[in-house]
Amino acid sequence: MDRRNFLTAGVAGAAAGALAAPAIAQDKQVVRMVTTWPRNFPGLGTGAQRVADRITAASGGRIEVKLFAAGELVPPFESFDAVATGAAEMYHGAEYYWQGKHKGYNFFAAVPMGLTGQELQAWVHFGGGRELWDELGAKFGVKGFLAGNTGVQFGGWFRNPILSMDDMKGLKMRIPGLGGEVLRAVGASAVSLPGGEIFPALQAGTIDATEWVGPYNDLAFGFHNILKTYMYPGFHEPGSGLSVGINMGWWDSLSAADKVMIEACCSAENDVMTAEFNARNGGALAALVNEHGVQLHRFPDEVFAELAKASEDVLAAVGSEDELGGRIFESFRTFRASVAAYTKLSEEAYTAARGAALGI
């Protein structure tokens, strides 16, 4: 697909009349979902559309979800406010975009040296995360559900390989959430930009480097046309959860059956998007390397160790900001220690042994 097809935002005319209350006629509602993604962008934009379509279909058309991509109704980073104020009923985005509201939101998307995708699901559903997320959302009138995951992300695109911590000094990099704060702590400059603004910023030299997601999405955005150095692994987003946020007033107006239906639709997309990224990343990486001359470089162990140390300091600072943030951090930290011990002896041990035995 042409990258420009993803970056073109059709803003004209979308806002006119769109901020009215949801249309209700003969038990049918037309509700609005705003997103932080370009329309039809692979994985993220299409995943948001799948959620909207699934809710519409599962409700038999009684709840018709109309999707507005980034910039079509509100700017991407204003999606949370749109839902909190009732200008839209739903958003699809990444919770760390809302850290300006409360830094605890980071933990429900991804934090540096945090949880993998399946570990995040485990924490939210069985480790106390659900209750804390609800408590946080109640402050703003928004209820969140996991509705997608991109898996372990790559470390990003650079003009030159990162060989030591000196290479991080003064680097201007697009990286959101707490990952950006880690980079600031080690002397880099972090910029948070929505997806559609990254490529132009690289072209203009406004930023020197960027992370986005991984091979599947990065190939679609065409970063390889500007930068050829692709670093791994990413320290900042080990399992990036995407979410549907719902206006609490509208949520409370729904029947119990419709609430269960919407939650099930979100859970289904969490599974489908995870599968999509796992299926597509390998082929996209091969194309980047073999067809576009991209060079893979692993972060040196000493660099990763320094980033990990800074990450722990940043997370601890978040936990000290207020009482709720402290409880979210403690719950996350306790669960991470518990689940990591098993992950090391299960998935990590198996994939390492499989690779050694089969040479893959």
Task: Quote the pLDDT of residue 9.
Answer: 39
Mean pLDDT of 116-133: 98
pLDDT at 177: 86
How much is the pLDDT for 173?
Answer: 98
| pLDDT above 60 (res 16) | no
Residue 8 has pLDDT above 50, yes or no: no
Residue 146: strand pairing partners: 243
Q: Which two tokens stand for residue 75?
A: 């700017």
pLDDT at site 181: 95
Contact present, 271 and 279 (Cβ < 8 Å): no
What average pLDDT does the chain have?
A: 93
Provide the pLDDT for residue 176. Answer: 87
Question: Is the model's pLDDT at 116 over the cut of 70?
Answer: yes
Average pLDDT over residues 211-230: 96
pLDDT digits 0-9 by tens, 243-300: 999 999 999 999 999 999 999 999 999 999 999 999 999 999 999 999 999 999 999 9
Among 2-11, 147-156, 161-170, 311-320, the minimum mean pLDDT is found in 2-11
Give the CA angle between residues 199, 235, 316 to the nearest 5°. 115
Q: How many CB atoms neighbour CB 28 within 10 A? A: 14
Tell me: pLDDT of 2 over 50. Answer: no
**21: pLDDT strictly greater than 90:** no
Give Cα 26 distance to the centre of its chain.
Answer: 37
* Domain locations along the chain: 3-150+239-279
Q: Buried b / exposed e across 292-321, counting CB within 10 Å, b at 16+? A: eebeeeebeeebbebbeebbeebbeebbee
pLDDT of residue 188: 97
Q: Residue 194 gets which letter from DSSP?
A: -
Does the pLDDT at position 4 exceed 70? Answer: no
For 36-93, how does the pLDDT look when each residue is reduced to its tens digit (9 = 90+)?
999 999 999 999 999 999 999 999 999 999 999 999 999 999 999 999 999 999 999 9
Q: Which helix (H) or strand (E) holds 81?
A: helix 79-85
pLDDT surpassing 90 at residue 23: no
Judge whether residue 327 has pLDDT over 70: yes
Q: What is the 8-class DSSP label of residue 145?
A: E
DSSP letter at 281 equals: H
Q: What integer pLDDT is reported at residue 24 of this predicted model?
A: 54
- Reported as a pLDDT band with limits 50, 70 and 90, residue 22 is low
CATH 3.20.20.70 fits 3-150+239-279, yes or no: no
**Predicted local confidence at residue 195, as pLDDT:** 87
The pLDDT-based confidence of 26 (bands split at 50, 70, 90) is low
Mean pLDDT of 174-194: 94
